[in-house]
Structures are given as structure tokens and as C-alpha cells.
Amino acid sequence: MAQLLWLSFGKTLMQHSTLWGIILIYVLTWCLAFASAFGLHAIWSRVKPHLTFGKTA
């Protein structure tokens, strides 16, 4: 995901303002990582109850 940010506008932004480029790419990369972890957790929480792992009582 960070590579998509970099290729879409990161290079251009870094040429205009290095500090703002670093800050913006860092924050957006962190947000995307958090969102993907949150999304995977939400999906797993819904899928997990439907799976059986051979429980023996």
C-alpha cells in the first residue's frame, strides 16, 4: 500500500516539500496499515465462529 501512495503522488510531493512528503506518506501508510488490521480482525471475528476445529467435549 505504501508503494501505491509513493507511486501515485509521493515522488511529486517530495520534490516540492520534503518534510510534508515524509509526514504525509508516514501518516497515510500508518492509517492504511491500521485499517487493514482492523478489517482483517472484523472479518476473522465473523468467520471464526463458523469454523470447527475438532473440539472434543
pLDDT for 57: 52
pLDDT for 53: 72
Going from the C-alpha of 13 to that of each of 5, 9, 23, 24, 53, the distances in angstroms are 11, 6, 11, 9, 50
Backbone angles phi, psi at 52, to 5 degrees: -115, 135
CA quadruple 32, 38, 39, 40: dihedral sign: positive
pLDDT for 56: 57
Can you give the pLDDT of all 57 residues of the chain as single tens digits?
A: 778 887 888 888 888 899 998 898 899 999 999 999 999 999 999 998 888 776 655
Please enumerate in sequence order all residues whose Cβ is within 8 A of that of 48, keeping only pairs 6 or more positions apart, or say none. Answer: none
pLDDT for 13: 85
Say which DSSP state 51 is in. -
